[in-house]
Amino acid sequence: MCSVLVFLQSQTLTNLSMNSQNSRRDFLKKTALATAGASLLPLSSFAQAKRKNKLPAWKGFNLLDFFSHNPDQGRPTKPDYLTWIADWGFDFVRVPISYPSYLDIDRTRPIRPDEVLNFDESRLEKVDQLVEKSIKQGLHVSLNLHRAPGFCINAGFEEPYNLWKDQEALDAFCAHWEMWAKRYKGISSKKLSFDLVNEPFQRENPNDQHSPGGPVDVADYHRVAKAALERIKSVKKSRLVIADGNGGGGIAVPELADLDLSQSCRGYHPFPISHYKAGWVYKDPSTVPPVDWPLPQGEKTLDIDNIRQYYAPWKALIDQGVGVHCGECGCYNQTPHKVFLAWFGDVLQVLKEMEVGFGIWEFSGAFGVMNSGRKDVEYEDWYGEKLDRKFLELLRRQI
């Protein structure tokens, strides 16, 4: 989720993506020239020097109905929202799910290992309903475990084990995906895909939101992704499966290229703009300096060419035949609207050059086109909702 990336991580993201473990070196030797060249090319050359993206360039939004571990605190998608999304020309929704939301458990205490498979049919049916309604509107649905057994990038609660290290957690993770695979076996992969786990990240203390950490060891990520992929494919071989970028979603993972996986990047670079004055990022948001676009950063200025450099490792994945989609992107509502639109227009331009689609973090809410709560927007009344027409039209120009 957008709230989980930390400022320090964002400042080092590009360097991390080019300086990973030894297993990455062979890949980089083969793609270094193409990647470096792509990052420095002007717009026209950058757009032309490419291999076609294997994934469709779906464009749409995340729906947060099951984002909370407590189903009573979900944010139900209004039926009209799906209609508007489709009528406006979008074709994609991502559904990030906290796995306890569909379990029959005691939510007054931390979940126990013996409870993680207590599936509640009545709650699963609510997911079914959202999936069915979305598909009926012609929207591709990406089902994502935002909180999985043993991991969530939004810590602050107690998981009984560690997905990246403990076999018991991996077994439960695979069991959840097997359940979903069987439940939706009859739905075409053209209509439904699975996004394994949101924004892999490894903290020293997985249950402490502020514990230091970084990218998951790629050997651990490969082992977890491979196990879940095999379990899903054992049910439906044609199911499309996606793995999020490492280190909180932003780092391309060429080490997974030997698996039948596409990958999902993020659209939050540079982070000081996308998460300007976000209370979950900064202890004292009032001390955050103003932002502009292009963005001065010390002796350099970040502009669209810097965005291209940031996405160069993702373009290298596409050139290697790996499908790429941007599962989350957007901007918190404290960024000045004019700055947000100027910056995000460049983000969308670079994604378009790579033929990569996107999912805005939410449809209605602080990152959304609807009811964002921005103080510097003249909203359009849209059937009783507050529509950011300028943001909507910026997105629709990409369709």
pLDDT reported for residue 22: 42
Helices (H), the chain: 7-17, 25-40, 43-48, 79-87, 121-136, 167-183, 218-235, 271-274, 304-319, 337-353, 389-396
pLDDT reported for residue 380: 98
Of residues 282, 236, 313, the one with CA closest to residue 32: 313
pLDDT tens sequence across 294-350: 999 999 999 999 999 999 999 999 999 999 999 999 999 999 999 999 999 999 999
Residue 207 neighbours by CB distance under 10 Å = 15
Model pTM above 0.75: yes
pLDDT reported for residue 46: 53
pLDDT reported for residue 394: 98
Q: Are strands 380-382 and 385-387 parallel, antiparallel or unpaired?
A: antiparallel
CA distances from 117 to 5, 114, 146, 166, 234 (A): 29, 7, 16, 16, 19
Q: What is the DSSP string of 310-345?
A: HHHHHHHHHHTT--EEEEEE---TTS-HHHHHHHHH
Name 132's Cβ contacts closer than 8 Å, sequence gap at least 6. none
Angle between helices 167-183 and 218-235 (to 10 degrees): 30
pLDDT reported for residue 210: 77
Q: Are strands 202-203 and 213-214 parallel, antiparallel or unpaired?
A: antiparallel
Tell me which residues of the chain have a pLDDT lower than 70. 1-50
pLDDT reported for residue 25: 40
pLDDT tens sequence across 228-253: 999 999 999 999 999 999 999 999 99
Q: How many residues does the chain have?
A: 399
pLDDT reported for residue 51: 85
**Exposure letters 69-86 (e unless 16+ CB within 10 A, then b):** bebeebeebeeebbebbb
59-397 belongs to which CATH class?
alpha beta
How do the domains of the chain map onto residue ranges?
59-397
pLDDT reported for residue 133: 98
Name all contacts of 390-395 with Cβ < 8 Å and 24+ positions apart.
Answer: 390/337, 390/341, 391/340, 391/341, 392/88, 394/341, 394/344, 394/345, 394/348, 395/59, 395/90, 395/348, 395/360, 395/369
Report CA Rg, the chain.
20
Q: How far apart are CA 21 and CA 247, in angstroms?
A: 13
Q: How far apart are CA 131 and CA 227, in angstroms?
A: 25
pLDDT reported for residue 1: 55
